[in-house]
Amino acid sequence: MANCKFFAPLMIMMVMAVDLAQAQSTCSKSFSSSNRLFSSCQTLKQLSSNFAWSYDPENGTIKMAFTAKPDTSAGWVSWGINPAGTGMVGTRSLIAFKHSNGTMVVTTYNITTKKTAPKPSAIDYKVEDMAAEFSGGQITIYATWTLMNNKTSIYHVWQTGPTVSGMVPGVHTFNTDNLASLGSIDLSTGVATASSGSPRTFLKNRHGVLNVVGWSIMLPIGVIIARYMRAVESADPLWFYLHVFCQISGFAIGVAGWATGLKLGSSSKGIVYRQHRNIGIAVFAIATAQMFALLVRPNKENKYRKYWNIYHHSVGYTIVVLSIVNIFKGFDMLQPEHKWKRAYIGVLIGLGGVAVFLEIISWIAFFVKKSSTSSKRNGV
């Protein structure tokens, strides 16, 4: 027991040391191509990038190097500091790219808006010794920053993009890594925290999940139940209650997703996805009318019941189709990992397969019943 008590902490320390060594081996402090060496480094998970630095407390400066792979050979990479710590907007950034004449360019940019591409401009940090190099498909930015008020805890933002027109970088993609390439770091201690995503990213994800589940999974299931279970006499009135449960649940979940969309819109001034927004508004309005139509549903014996059924069915199918179209538009905007889009397509294929199978069974049952009825009439 004594030996166990001694060796257990020792083993834990060894494992921690191995983990630390592995973590440190993934980032680079040395850049042999430029004979530069830094005292600290951090592997940035987002965009598979590397950040190295040396902090000088006497001068309040950091010498830094940031390495990332641009989206294309004609693309760009950037690293910057946002003193407000609020995301991309407000970042004082260095952006580097290969000029059309083959030389490397690195200059300062103020990221003031998401609506327009930034142009070269002075920033309120003193930045010296700016340089950039292209090697092994990656761009490395070098510079010396004088920190404001010698504040060592910074909020930094990094990014990559596909194109550059003149000195203006093209818009980057909006994949998960691009939206989460930000974090905080204490340059004096090396303690870093990479962001798992901005609040807007979390809200976008919640918006997508709620809309997928509500509008384009629960509602189609309710439609399938109403169309195929209703024909089974023993399933009456169970099919009706299941149908109502699916439709009301889908509507409630979808409305929650629609509300998160409104929140996203209000916090994204100048960014408007008109088609996605307009289809979403149409789906919400039509679905709300559909819910209220249940309150005026005529009895089966009422002569207007058939007209109500035509309205109810046509509107229901319209909601499902518009919802699916808008979900795919949402995928194109958010650009999540491909597995999520493939999973959604798989769900649609599954629901479609079930519907086709039940449709075939329904028609077979219809013709069998019709043949049986005809035989009885003919006295067979």
The CA distance from 132 to 102, in Å, is 12
Of residues 150 and 344, more confidently modeled: 344
342 in helix, strand or coil? helix
Cβ-contact 76, 95 below 8 angstroms: yes
- Positive or negative, the CA dihedral 353, 358, 359, 360 is positive
Residue of 68, 66, 72, 35 whose CA lies nearest to 53:
66
Q: Quick one: pLDDT band at residue 200, thresholds 50, 70, 90? A: low
Q: Which token pair is 206? A: 């919640």
Average pLDDT over residues 3-24: 37
pLDDT at 75: 94
The two three-digit tokens of residue 349, written as one number: 């294929």
Q: CA 201, 254, 197 angle in degrees (round to 5)?
A: 10
Q: Sorting pLDDT into bands at 50, 70 and 90, what band is 54? A: very high
Residue 132, pLDDT score: 95
Q: What is the mean pLDDT of residues 59-85?
A: 92
Quick: pLDDT tens for 298-350: 988 888 899 999 999 999 999 999 999 999 998 887 767 778 889 999 999 99
Nearest-angstrom CA–CA distance, 239 and 358: 15
Beta-carbon-side half-sphere exposure of residue 316 (alpha carbons within 13 Å): 26
Distances, alpha carbon 277 to alpha carbons 261, 284, 324, 330, in Å: 8, 11, 14, 10
Token pair for residue 215? Answer: 């509008």
Position 115 scores a pLDDT of 65
For residue 112, name the pLDDT band (cuts at 50, 70, 90). confident
Instruction: Find the range with the poorest average confidence among 15-19, 49-53, 204-208.
Output: 15-19
Q: Count Cβ atoms below 10 Å from residue 78 Cβ, excluding itself.
A: 28
In this structure, of 19-23, 52-56, 304-308, the range with the lowest mean pLDDT score is 19-23
- Indicate whether 17 pLDDT > 60: no
Which band of pLDDT confidence, cut at 50, 70 and 90, is reported for residue 1? Answer: very low
Tell me, yes or no, if the pTM score tops 0.75: no
pLDDT tens figures, 231-276: 888 888 899 999 999 999 999 999 999 998 888 777 655 566 789 9
The answer to which of 119-128, 249-258, 264-273, 280-289 has the lowest mean pLDDT is: 264-273
- Whether the CB-CB separation of 42 and 185 falls below 8 Å is answered with yes
Q: How much is the pLDDT for 364? A: 87
Angle (nearest 5°) at CA 286 between 353 and 236: 55
Alpha-carbon gap, residue 101 to 174, rounded angstroms: 29
- Domains of the chain with CATH codes: 27-194 (2.60.40.1210), 199-371 (1.20.120.1770)
Lookup: tokens for 320: 């499902």
pLDDT at 268: 58
Range in 32-36, 200-204, 243-247, 323-327 with the lowest mean pLDDT: 200-204
pLDDT recorded at residue 121: 93
DSSP 61-124: EEEEEEEE--SSTT-EEEEEE-TT-SSSTT-EEEEEEE-TTS-EEEEEEE---SSS---B---S
DSSP for 225-287, please give it. Answer: IIIIITT-GGGTTHHHHHHHHHHHHHHHHHHHHHHHHHHHHHTSTT---HHHHHHHHHHHHHH
**Distance of alpha carbon 207 from alpha carbon 376, whole angstroms:** 57
